[in-house]
Structure 1
């Protein structure tokens, strides 16, 4: 699992975010095709290395007729949310990237609508801004997919002083729609009068990112996206591509010693606990008081499941007591894939260190085709290995 962590000392804008993704390794040629697909054949994407206070970064620019789109004053048509949604849905990039782009635009239009007291459909982006935003947001959504980024987190957001000039007049910095998009996020004031967070940048944070968490991650790569202005500090957005090695969580442990329960009841109890939401159930033989043989049943579950699962143990076994405690556990990230074996489709659960076919799928095929279970499992493992090599 890969995570992108954003450091925002100079804020965030759409061009900075896209430039940072290109610096992280997103294919510029492919992204140029995306820009032309959503903004027309006259549009293009340029990416160049620049120095910002001694830090090398990528400056991404959406072009229209070989000029920066935000400088093309001759573009006078405006677009509403429906027209932008239609453009994105007709484009040929993946469903995942399309949904991401639409979420960002929905956030952008909704914040403007709330600020101006209008409906979302009454809000329009002027053509220059629409081309800029279309290119930056759609190319960024595709780049995130190309880099296989699963989640995005960010640090505190800098909020400057002063004012900004908008289409409707002069407003306090940041613009009202930007501040609306940042509601609920951690912010801090800086003694600067520049627009550090643009509407597109704020929409990206609002739709795609969350405040940072302290999960243990491995640092894979670092990318820098350059801003346009010359600031006292390096005007760059830094993105750190991280890989989650494992996750941790709190679990509830329920235990009880049973000395007068038949194996059939124990088997039924295991199935019922798992169906009710237990994460795992195990049973071990024990010697109890007066040398009576018995069983120790141990249930691992989410803490919220304690009462429900305890009631099942009480009702099915007749035990008079259950011990419980909260513990921490770490676990590897895993994914479930369906592979096509020579015998049929089988789900396979895989992690960083291995893979295991789902028993029930293998069992069903083995019974239907009259072949050994081990053959089905071996075929599934061979298929997942071939699938991963081919990818």
Structure 2
């Protein structure tokens, strides 16, 4: 009887030990690999390190240069991590619009997204500096700024909003297109130009002598067709893909805005990674940036060739005429970036 009681007691002790050991193991795995809200970062251990599955929100279609670069980023990360880090990209705004995507990344509900300066300046007002008209003299000059210390400072600045700025994407230059030809600054006088609902963009159009007309993007074609507006502004691929050239066949290559975009990672996600995995993510993002830049350049050239073939009249400004445009918007620098005038000089002096 005594032996039977001892046997039962021993068996119970071993069972409890097993249960406690199992609980201890689970807690260690969980604390060693914290996850983003909404199960956006699920982690487990394997022989080579932790495995993750992350989510990336993208508003563009799969054919867009940014989306293609996102896909390259995903492939590179999976390759360099030996399959441990997987990233699922949700295209076509499946997870919400651009602003929503940034907010979800900020609070850890999403792991990655890509966003324009127009949206990001709401999270870091210093980014308004990069949105100033005629700030950059060319695409090459802009990239020399972004790939240097100045660009890194802007990437680092988004950390105040609990996000990590990984790299820059190109979104090309924005140019005016109109129903009637515009060959100089005086040609824009009193023209009704469609702009985004942005105080900076509206002030820019006013400074150039035109009348800013905020309008939903989907209404621009009919607005031009019916004479509600006289022109609009956008990048070349958008001008071509929307067929706005059919109702506004005059393109003024003034390059008033060159707006880079940023790939972001949630700070919560970033902190869950080891330094070596952070390095993988960073290096792959920078490689994706190079890919996107080339894809964008190709799409701009293709779009310009296409609209020319459709009979669009293209006007390029002389250096003297371009300076008139630049001089006209100088008051905006004081209004929107008075605390960063020295930084603006550094940007403009970068060759």
TM-score (norm 2): 0.23
Look at both structures and tell me which one has the larger radius of gyration over its CA atoms. 1
Where is the strand percentage greater, Structure 1 or Structure 2?
1
Where is the helix percentage greater, Structure 1 or Structure 2?
2
Larger RCO, structures 1/2 (Cα 8 Å, 6+ apart)? 2
